[in-house]
Structure 1
Amino acid sequence: MTLVKFNPNNSNKKNGLMPGINDVFDSIFNDTFFSDRMMSRVPATNISESKDHYHLELAAPGLKKEDFKLSLERDVLSVSVEQSLQNDSQERNFNKREFSYNSFVRSFKLPESAEENGIEASYENGVLAINIPKREEAKVQSRQIEIK
Structure 2
Amino acid sequence: MLIPRFFGESLLDDWMKDPWNSTRTAPEKANARKVSVMRTDIREKGDNYVLDMELPGYKKENISVKLENGTLTVQAIGSEESREEENGFLRQERYAGSCARSFYIGEALRQEDIQARFENGILTLVFPKQPAPQPEQSKYISIEG
TM over 0.5: yes
Q: Which amino acid aligns with 2:101?
A: R
CA offsets 1:54-99 (integer angstroms, 9 cap, x no match):
111111111111111111111111100122213343x87x376979
Within the alignment, does 1:111 sit opposite 2:102 as a pair? no
Within the alignment, does 1:25 sit opposite 2:21 as a pair? no
Is the CA contact (8 Å cut-off) linking 2:71 and 2:102 kept in structure 1? yes
1:104 & 1:95 partners in 2: Cα distance? 24
1:56 & 1:82 partners in 2: Cα distance? 19
Within the alignment, does 1:39 sit opposite 2:33 as a pair? yes
CA offsets 1:111-135 (integer angstroms, 9 cap, x no match):
3564542211111122110011344
2:49 & 2:114 partners in 1: Cα distance? 10
Structure 1 gap ranges (5+): 1-11, 138-148
Structure 2 gap ranges (5+): 1-5, 22-28, 133-145
Q: Which amino acid aligns with 2:16?
A: F
Alignment TM-score, normalising by the size of structure 1? 0.58
Pairing partner for 2:119 from 105, 109, 124: 124
* Secondary structure in 2 matching 1:39: helix
* Secondary structure in 1 matching 2:12: helix
With over 3 angstroms needed to count, the CA separation of the structure-2 counterparts of 1:24 and 1:76, relative to structure 1, is: closer
Report what 1:53 is aligned to. 48
- 1:110: Cα distance to partner? 1.1
Q: Give aligned-pair identity as a percent.
A: 30
Is the CA contact (8 Å cut-off) linking 1:63 and 1:126 kept in structure 2? yes
2:103 & 2:50 partners in 1: Cα distance? 12
For these two proteins, the number of residue pairs brought into alignment is: 116
Is the CA contact (8 Å cut-off) linking 1:84 and 1:100 kept in structure 2? no
With over 3 angstroms needed to count, the CA separation of the structure-2 counterparts of 1:13 and 1:73, relative to structure 1, is: same
2:131 & 2:97 partners in 1: Cα distance? 39
2:107 & 2:45 partners in 1: Cα distance? 16
Report what 1:81 is aligned to. 76
* Secondary structure in 1 matching 2:61: helix
